[in-house]
Chain A
Amino acid sequence: MQAEIIDNIRFTTLSPEAIKRMSVAKLIVPDTYNEDGYPIDGGLVDQRLGVIDPGLKCKTCGGRAKTCMGHFGHIELVRPIIHPEFTKIIYLLLQSTCEKCHRILLDENQMAVAKEAIETFVTSDEIDVDRVAETNGKLAALTKKLKSVKKCPSCGAAQQKLKFERPTFFYLNGNKLKPDEIKDWLSNISNDDLKLLGIDYKATRPEWFILTSLLVPPINVRPSITLETGERSEDDLTHKLVEIMRINQRLEQDIDAGAPQIIIDDLWELLQYHVTTYFDNETPGVPVARHRSTRPLKTLAQRLKGKEGRLRYNLSGKRVNFSARTVISADSSLTVNQVGVPMRIAENMTVPLYVTKWNIEKAKVYVSNSSYPKAINVITREGSRKRVNDTNQEDLLKEIVPGYVIERQLVNNDIVLFNRQPTLHRLSIMAHRVKVLPGKTLRLHVSAAFPYNADFDGDEMNLHVPQTLESQAEARYLMQPKYQVLSPRNGNPLLYIEEDEIAGMYLLTKDNSYYTKEETMSMLANLGIYEMPKAEKNGMYSGKSIFSMTLPKGLNFESKNKHGKVIIKDGLLEEGIIDNKLVGEKGGVLISHIFVEYGPDFNEKFLLNIAKLSLGAAYIYGLTVSVKDYYLSSKIISERTNIIKSYEGKASDLINSYKAGKLESLPGYTKKSTLEVLLYATLSQARDTAVQYLNKELNQSNNAYLLASIGARGNILNMVQMSMFLGQQSVRGKRPTRGYNGRMLPYFKKNTKDPKSKGFVTSSFFEGLTPMDMYQHAMGSRDSQMTKSLVTAVSGYMYRRLINAMMDFYVDSDLSVKDANGELIQTLYGGDGIDPTLEAVAHQKE
């Protein structure tokens, strides 16, 4: 379908006549309901303005609550009131016209120039660029002069000083201009002059900026709510309108009674205040109108404005049907493509089934079912929707013919969209196949959590059921995780195994890892593999051969990782250890190879198999970590003392050479700051030395070290901090200093450069921190926490802006990038036409 192109939209002001034409009722009573709870005629909920209570009929159109959209009414203001949103234009018009004759303040020559300029803009279709620029300049020069004209060129009257004071006050030479005077002034400006001022007099006459009657929106716009107590609570707009009417009525009475001018003027001003806040309750310079409970009233502008306003809250973003949300949890027996849906959700969500002659029998089964996979609604060819129940079930069964639509409950293998906020990239919404499960959480495979950036500590996710065949097909063929294996960022796999799975994979495939027949069988049967790998001579099965059972026959693959070469020949792992680089976060080269060579479906199964298999291996090994892995042996303690002593020695060497004046200053630093930089750099290396020592000292019989060394979880630095010492703390990239005068804590000596007084923490988490160490560590922790939260906020905002700027870009068939308006963004995608998704694989193949 070709979208209609909107040529232009015109906004104009309503004339008092237009308001009266639109209005179905002149409202005269400043109240809503009478004592009997019945709407007052001529009140603010006059039944001619529409109905919202079911059962009542609209007195204007006769429609019911659902069919009557409401009708406008109006209030006759006894004195004119300035419309607060037009004060700027009013000020401009008053400035540009004579206070006596109300002509535009231009002499004949200037008027001719302006006339010609306006013609140039309005009439010529084919714009002459040079002429437009020239006339633009001339007009600008004229506009500048207008404000400072002292004498009217038309009638010769001297122009007095005009002042505008927010929100709605105008002064001529210090005397207040009342709205009726302004109205007279504005109505006297001729149409010809308005044209020169850039106002289309056919659409808007300036005197309409001064209100004489006020349009009252239908009650559908300001519905009252009935509280549980039976009390009626009116909308803020109704409250405001009641006040406007009340003051209006008092003003009328006072005028009729011949009250003194001051009293009338005061009331008039009060009326102006109420009208101003009715339009915008956040008008600068105006006290906020409040509810009885001191809550500020939400008037017209507040309804539209901002994040919670009509535009951003109700139009740009909407609530949707066919969606579900609950806590997520992990399920390693689901594939990355599946999502576990609780029965409660599956029962409540429906999918349309379009009845054809091929599926009519299936459709009838759903209609005849009285429990779970049943039909909820039947939609006839004419489009009328009937809810299936015990009484009409039989009739509906006979009625169904091709062309009907049945809304059935969600069943296994339906396609649904799964989403986690913040939805930062395209992988934050993917299509999964439903697996209906007992329980109350949505379940997904652990490996599928990464693209969503989800974890299972209470995260919730949303589920949406596509309702048309087109959307289902689009989801099925484009959005399933199995097709989204490679990252659009760098081509590395996004779906891979992590943590204990990596550990299990290492334990399984390391050299000299053998399993008994029973162990092998139990591991493989869990994958649904019922064949055995080739046994070794001693009747045992090597881990490498067990792993090979998950590989496709005929796979030849070679790679290198930190454990050495990895060689797979004809689907058999002959040499090497499967680690992070092959199936994990550090590249996942085996996964991308299998994805590219054997396709998404095999890869989906492969991911599931290696995850299950490695968990089986970790289970057999009995992988566990305990405090004893971090135990401070006397050896470690003495080495710690050595390391600390050696670094403190290095620090005092630096301090001594500084004191002796031998320290060469770094470029751009003073001698003093050079010392600080060098001390910080040197002391920070203490931890690295400790890491090297632990690498030498510990071996894989220590499970914590095992996990860290193969990259499953944690790193050696964490072990150092637990078993040896925390090391140098940093605040803003420097040694912590602030606190007391010349020292961080009163415990230390003043103005010393001693490492221990400047964040060099020598105690460990295992033995506990000294009070001084605790303070120093807390300073460093706070600094890194602050930086972290600041960085996420800043980069998140940047992300949002980028998405909004680029959301409609697409790569055209000629590899150029265009946006939805057809604007050319790049002639060749990325400047080189390369799709990063397949980049990594291309290099791997070379």
Chain B
Amino acid sequence: MVVHEVLSESEAKKVSAEYNTPIDKFPKILQSDPQVIKIGAKPRQLIKIHREDPTGKYSAYRYVVESV
């Protein structure tokens, strides 16, 4: 099961520093995405996606936007 999680502002800042990229330059996800609605993330927040596959555990990040 893929778990989505809203990052707090300070956490988002940390991730942004880790990848040396402003958070609005991360890959985008729509506000209307079912998982975004489920965890209640708002536009201009960064969400963390915990993934697991045969290569191991890793996380992806998505920047929530209102529309394309």
Contact = CB atoms under 8 A, between A and B. Distances in A.
A133 B66 CA distance: 9
Contacts of B60: 827
B25 A822 contact: yes
A824 B66 CA distance: 19
Nearest to B22: A822
A818 B19 CA distance: 11
A129 B22 contact: no
A825 B19 CA distance: 11
A129 B26 contact: no
A824 B42 contact: no
Given A814-B20, A816-B19, A129 B25 contact: no
A823 interface: yes
Interface in A774-813: 812
B19 A823 contact: no
Q: Which of B20, B42, B44, B61 has the most CB of A within 10 A?
A: B20
Contacts, number: 29
A827 B60 CA distance: 9
Interface residues of A, number: 13
Q: Which of A129, A812, A822, A827 has the most CB of B within 10 A?
A: A827
A822 B44 contact: no
Given A822-B25, A823-B25, A824-B26, A129 B66 contact: yes
Q: Which of B25, B26, B44, B60 has the most CB of A within 10 A?
A: B25
Interface string B52-63: 000000001100
Nearest to A132: B66
Contacts of A816: 19-21
Nearest to A823: B25
A465 to B, nearest CB: 38
Contacts of A824: 19, 21, 25-27
A821 B61 CA distance: 18
Contact of B19 (A129, A133, A827): A827
A812 B27 CA distance: 16
B20 A129 contact: no
A822 B66 contact: no
A244 B38 CA distance: 62
A32 B42 CA distance: 65
Interface in A819-846: 821-825, 827
A818 B27 CA distance: 11
B21 A822 contact: yes
Contacts of B61: 827
Contacts of A812: 20
Interface in B5-52: 19-22, 25-27, 42-44
Contacts of B19: 814, 816, 824, 827
A690 B21 CA distance: 62
A824 B26 CA distance: 5
Interface in A475-508: none
A528 B21 CA distance: 55
A129 B43 contact: yes
A818 B21 CA distance: 9
Contacts of B43: 129
Nearest to B43: A129
Nearest to B59: A827
Nearest to B61: A827
B17 to A, nearest CB: 12
Contacts of B44: 129
B49 to A, nearest CB: 12
Nearest to B64: A129
A827 B49 CA distance: 14
A711 to B, nearest CB: 36
11 contacts: A129-B66, A814-B19, A818-B21, A818-B25, A822-B21, A822-B22, A822-B25, A823-B25, A824-B21, A824-B26, A824-B27
Interface of A: 129, 132-133, 812, 814, 816, 818, 821-825, 827
Given A814-B20, A824-B21, A824-B27, 13 more contacts: A129-B43, A132-B66, A133-B66, A814-B19, A816-B20, A818-B25, A821-B25, A822-B21, A822-B25, A823-B25, A824-B25, A824-B26, A825-B27
